[in-house]
Structure 1
Amino acid sequence: MSFTLYGAAGSGSVPVEAAMTLIGLDYRVIEAVTWEGEAERDKVAVANPMRQVPTLITPDGETITESAAILIWLADAHPKARLGPSIDDPRRAQFLRWMTFIPASIYSMFWVRDEPSRLVGDDAAAQEQIRQRTAERIAECWRVMDRQITPGRFLLGDDLSVLDLYVAVASRWTPRRARFAIEAPRMAEVVRRVDARPGLQDFWARRFPFDEGA
């Protein structure tokens, strides 16, 4: 039996798809571009009442939501893939710290940024102010993370982890990679290695092609 993932190209499902690709899991994606309207959100409603992607259905029929939770679960459930430090690994605390920092401090900004009217209605000036302030907040968070993390070849040392996949995808969102490289130069070197990972080249081309300078 295979996994079913509700997701969309360029979305928070992409690091989950990348992890499953590297692990070698059999999965199918039900495309749900939730930011394009209610009909797309309704596709996910059968599995997740929040109508958000990613939503993962395991072969046993269990539902797992929240990108960080799915990524941590995948790494823990497939230790041979070496995509996350085990519970007794000294890197585990920092792994959990940054895996939760990204959705709490960065990913969460996009709920309001993508649709500022959720908070300010039709006020065009207020909507633009939200877009500007959320972009600055995201850049600040990347700057804070870059100052407190000491990468090796990858963010936690020499081993690729789901944290690297998560950052590689999230850093492509606003304010985009050019700004990310300025705010987080040490992490920028790492995400370029993730982009160039041989086992992911075809995957990136299908699920999140991008212009690095954008």
Structure 2
Amino acid sequence: MTYVVYGASGSGSMPVEAALTLMKQPFSVVEAVTWEGDAERDKVAVVNPMRQIPALVTPEGDTITESAAILLWLTERHPEARLAPPPGDPIRGQFLRWMTFIPAAIYSMYWVRDVPSRLVGDDGPAQTVLLQRTAARIAECWGVMESQLEPGRFLLGAEPTVLDLYVTVASRWTPRRRRFAEVAPRMAEVVRRVDALPELADFWAARWPFAAGEDR
């Protein structure tokens, strides 16, 4: 009874893999670095016609795509891991709010950033402006989230949820941790705690270690 994750180091599969690790569920990874070209995207086409990662194949053979959907489904499948507030919990609404805010407002920017020519062709100056403005938009969205939260030890209280995993991963993407800490200093404290969770130490080291000089 093993899950199969289609993903890549540093990608949106990281919170899914981290969640499975905390849930103590066996999984394997089909490495597909989709931003490196069609050959890599073709690896995912067998399970996701959008040729995007992450994709999760369940032990029953079903395929689930979209990182937020995968994370939410896993918390329902494995409630014993306590990585989401249950239905009826007072913080459930805010949990769902931010779990959908991240892909809608932030994650979506990277489809544009990965291949700027999708929107502006081969116009170099236009691509530069696009990259600058999307980075600014991402930072703005993190600032909005920061202004609406009152983190405890973790984003929604004393215990971690998959939301913490999602933010911890996405905060390492452009404009990266230094800018993230500037616009979301309290959230930055939380993601550093997630970085340091003993239960994830081996996972981070194996799948996405910090590069020399990378902001934390």
TM-score, normalisation: structure 1: 0.98
Superimposed CA distance per residue, residues 104-163 of structure 1 (whole angstroms, 9 cap, x where no aligned partner)? 000000001111000111100000000000000000000000000110000010010000
Does structure 1 residue 35 correspond to structure 2 residue 35? yes
1:89 aligned partner: 89
1:64 aligned partner: 64
2:115 aligned partner: 115
Write the letter of the residue equivalent to 1:205: A
1:213 aligned partner: 215
Identity of aligned residues (%): 71
2:54 aligned partner: 54
Mapping of 1:1-214 within 5 angstroms? 1-211=1-211, 212-213=214-215
Structure 2 CA distance for aligned equivalents of residues 3 and 117 of structure 1: 35
Name the Cα RMSD after superposition. 0.9
Superimposed CA distance per residue, residues 71-125 of structure 1 (whole angstroms, 9 cap, x where no aligned partner)? 1111121111010000111111000000000000000000011110001111000
In the TM superposition, residue 199 of structure 1 has moved relative to its aligned partner by 0.7
Q: Structure 1 stretches (4+) deviating beyond 4 angstroms? A: none
DSSP-derived class of the 1:209 partner: coil
Superimposed CA distance per residue, residues 166-191 of structure 1 (whole angstroms, 9 cap, x where no aligned partner)? 00000000000000000000100100
In the TM superposition, residue 15 of structure 1 has moved relative to its aligned partner by 0.3
In the TM superposition, residue 210 of structure 1 has moved relative to its aligned partner by 1.8
In the TM superposition, residue 202 of structure 1 has moved relative to its aligned partner by 1.1
Write the letter of the residue equivalent to 1:112: V
Q: Which runs of 5+ in 2 are unaligned?
A: none
In the TM superposition, residue 28 of structure 1 has moved relative to its aligned partner by 0.4
